[in-house]
Amino acid sequence: MNIALRILLFLIVFFLLTILMQIGGLVLLLALPVFSLIQKKYHKRITRNILNIAGFLIIYFIASIIIVPKLAPIFGRVPLPAFRNSNVQPLTLWTCILNRHYVKPELFEVVKDTAKKMSEKDAEVIIAYLDANFPFKDGFPLFPHLSHSDGEKLDLAFFYKSEINKKVVYGKASSWIGYGVFEGPQPGEYDAPRNCIAKGYWQYDMAKYLVWNPRRLELDEDKTKEMIRYFTANKSINKVFLEPHLKSRLNLKSEKIRFHGCRAVRHDDHVHIQL
């Protein structure tokens, strides 16, 4: 492989890692001396490739677990709980592995307060969060979101129950990532997804292509409504994004609950809150 092609490949990987996990590109640069040592010591390509990947991952996880959480407060952000030992949990651990679980302390307090109030009625309740923000720098985009770039936004999974016994299934959603399985409009309800797609906003329901083998779960309207009402009642929350048909179906009256517009994606698979 010639030098120009190697440089091009390196730059592509650098930008992909940066877009995906923010610190990924920086970690790649820090790992270059390690790659150089491996290159000199090992001659088999497969051995070098395995060790290069292992070296990158070791540096990345050390940075993510030890360094990033200590530096993030400088940028006004803190990590949401990463492990399943509280009433606030990631729906998938990949959110935390990719460092997409950082928010401003004020937003963290709002989520903790809501979880506490809900747990007073049901000790087993779990608020499962989806994408939040990266740990550093306002304005750095959290792909593919349009607005998760300042620590003030957070997506949350709906509450679901088993279709079989109708019991609440905590910490799970119909999709393993929380996005892409929609609670679509019913007959007589306003159909924003259809209208947006008809206007040419092809991306509006693209999240459905991220999902395969969805779980057989049913939206728990009561729990979901309860959670959203706690958020809208909190003075720190400025906006909540939810599809209009779900706002109507759940009988939610708050003016904080708004339609996010056709340039975004559907919000009948999750709820978005922001300061």
SS (H, E, C) the chain: CCHHHHHHHHHHHHHHHHHHHCCHHHHHHHCHHHHHHHHHHCCCHHHHHHHHHHHHHHHHHHHHHHHHHHHHHHHCCEECCCCCCCCEEECCCHHHHCCCCEECHHHHHHHHHHHHHHHCCCCCCCEEECCCECCCCCCCCCCCCCCCCCCCEEEEECCEEECCCCCEECCCCCCCCCCCCCCCCCCCCCCHHHHHHHCCCHHHHHHHHHCCCCCCEEECHHHHHHHHHHHHHCCCCCEEECCHHHHHHCCCCCCCEECCCCCCCCCCCEEEEEC
Q: What is the pLDDT of residue 42?
A: 86
pTM listed for this prediction: 0.91
Q: What is the pLDDT of residue 245?
A: 97
Q: What is the pLDDT of residue 5?
A: 84
Q: What is the pLDDT of residue 197?
A: 95
Q: Is the dihedral of CA 36, 60, 68, 6 positive or negative?
A: positive
The residue type of 33 is P
Residues comprising the chain, all counted:
275
Q: What is the pLDDT of residue 146?
A: 83
Q: What is the pLDDT of residue 45?
A: 85
Give the span between the Cα atoms of 111 and 161, in whole angstroms: 21
Q: What is the pLDDT of residue 272?
A: 98
Low-confidence ranges of the chain (pLDDT < 50): none
Q: What is the pLDDT of residue 1?
A: 61
